[in-house]
């Protein structure tokens, strides 16, 4: 059984999350520098049986794509070319950073750890992935 890899793509850092083998629960995985993302995915895909890439696709309130999409679209194109046998699913990621911050507060994470943007990024990736998993059922 394969897993899904959730991606919260950013210009500097990218948060990653992974599903369990039953594709029911998303868990934060790590945060990597975006320029290191292709090599991280290559290594991770070599170790795990990936069944899909779930990538956050930010939209504005008027449903038009956000500015960062100009960076995300080439990355999606790269994934589709490099991993042609693994589907890529863009998922609306509006408010995931706010939801991630609230989840950290509710979960009792200390203020110092909440300030670490890497934690927000990987939790955001888990939220993006979990929303996909919930809709898939």
The rounded average pLDDT for each run of 10 residues, N- to C-terminus, in the chain (137 residues) is: 92 95 94 96 92 90 80 96 96 64 55 58 88 83
The pLDDT score that the predictor gives to residue 114 is: 46
- The pTM assigned to this predicted structure is 0.84
The pLDDT score that the predictor gives to residue 26 is: 94
The pLDDT score that the predictor gives to residue 123 is: 84
What ranges in the chain are assigned the alpha helix state H? 37-47, 69-82, 96-106, 111-114, 117-136
User: What residues make up the domain containing 130?
Assistant: 3-136
The pLDDT score that the predictor gives to residue 62 is: 79
The C-alpha angle with vertex 24 and arms to 130 and 98, in degrees rounded to 5, equals 15
Instruction: Give me 7's structure tokens.
Output: 């991606």
Q: Phi-psi bin for 74: left (phi > 0), alpha (psi -120 to 50), beta?
A: alpha
CATH number of the CATH domain containing 37: 3.30.420.140
Within a 10 A sphere around the Cβ of 103, how many other Cβ atoms? 16
């Amino acid at each position: 059984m394969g897993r899904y890899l959730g991606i919260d793509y950013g210009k500097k850092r990218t948060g990653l999350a992974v599903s369990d083998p039953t594709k029911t629960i998303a868990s934060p995985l790590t945060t990597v520098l975006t320029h290191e993302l292709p090599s991280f995915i290559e290594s991770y895909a070599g170790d795990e049986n990936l069944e899909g890439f779930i990538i956050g696709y930010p939209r504005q309130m008027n449903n038009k794509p956000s500015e960062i999409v100009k960076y995300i679209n080439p990355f999606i194109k790269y994934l589709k070319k490099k991993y042609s046998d693994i589907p890529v699913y863009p998922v609306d990621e509006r408010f995931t950073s706010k939801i991630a911050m609230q989840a950290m507060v509710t979960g009792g994470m200390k203020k110092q750890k909440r300030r670490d943007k890497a934690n927000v990024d990987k939790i955001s990736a888990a939220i993006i992935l979990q929303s996909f998993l919930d809709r898939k059922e």
